[in-house]
Chain A
C-alpha cells in the first residue's frame, strides 16, 4: 500500500511520509482506504501552503507585501524564514546579540578616544546594521564557503561604513 504515498507532493512526503506510512500500514486495505488516500493526495496538491509551518507562512506573506516590513524583520530575526535547525537558530541568535555588544563596546571606546569624529559617527550608524549583517552569515550564507561569507560580509560592511562615513563627513562640513 505504500505506493499510494507517491501520489503526494514530494514536500509533503518529506514532512509526513514516514508517519503516514506507519498509519497506513496499520489499517486494513479497502476501497474506502484507497479513496481516502486519493482524496488526501489531491488536497495536498491543491493546498501546498498547508504544508508550510506558521513561520514560513508569515514569511512568504511578508515577501508578497501583505504584511509590514517590521513583521518581516521580526520573522527573520526569530529565524523563522530560512530553514534552520534548532542549533543554527541558537547560533544565529547568540551571534546577533554578541555582535551588537561588540560593536557597542567598540563605539564607546572610539568615542572615548576620538570624541565625535565623523569616522566614529559612521561606526555608530553602521552599527545599526551590524548584527543583521552578522546574522546573515549563519542564515543566508550558511552553506557557502567561508571565503564567500568573508567576502560578502566584508564587502557589505565596508560598503555600508564608507557610505556612512561619506554622509557623516558631508554632514560635518555643512
Chain B
C-alpha cells in the first residue's frame, strides 16, 4: 500500500477534478517547470517531451483551469502571445504529483521484477 505524507496529499489534490484535462494539465506544468512559455511554445515542448500534440481547445481548456486554480499565472507580454509561469502552488502540486507517479512506477517495476 502506497502512503503519502499529509501535506503531499493536499498538494497532489490540486490537480484533481480536471477530468479529461488532467493529463494535458500535468504536461503543461512539466513544460512550464523549465521556463515560462506561451501557448505555441508549450505545444512544441510537450510534443518533444511526451510525443503528444495538444490541440488549442485542449490546451486552453487545461490552461484556464490551471490559472483558475492558481497553479500558473500569466506574465505581461508585448505581443499577443501571453507567456505563463508556474506559481509556488503549481510547483508544489507538480512535485507532489510526480512523486506520487514515481512511487507507483517504482512499485510497478518492483512487482514486475519479482513476478
Contact = CB atoms under 8 A, between A and B. Distances in A.
Interface of A: 12, 15-16, 18-24, 26-27, 32-33, 36-41, 43-44, 49-54, 57
Interface centre among B38, B39, B69 (most CB of A within 10 A): B39
B68 A36 contact: no
Interface of B: 38-40, 43, 53, 55-61, 63-65, 67-70, 80-82
B39 A23 contact: yes
Which secondary structure characterizes the binding site on chain B?
helix
A22 B55 contact: no
B90 to A, nearest CB: 12
Nearest to A42: B57
Nearest to B83: A19
B80 A22 contact: yes
10 contacts: A15-B64, A16-B60, A16-B64, A19-B39, A19-B80, A22-B81, A27-B53, A39-B58, A50-B65, A51-B64
B81 A19 contact: yes
A138 B28 CA distance: 37
Contacts of B39: 19-20, 22-23
A36 B56 contact: yes
Given A53-B67, A54-B68, A54-B69, A22 B40 contact: yes
Which secondary structure characterizes the binding site on chain A?
helix
A26 B68 contact: no
B46 to A, nearest CB: 12
B80 to A, nearest CB: 4
Contacts of A22: 38-40, 80-81
Contact of B68 (A38, A40, A50): A50
Nearest to B55: A36
A40 B58 contact: yes
A139 to B, nearest CB: 22
Nearest to A33: B55
B68 A19 contact: no
Contact of A23 (B56, B65, B68): B56
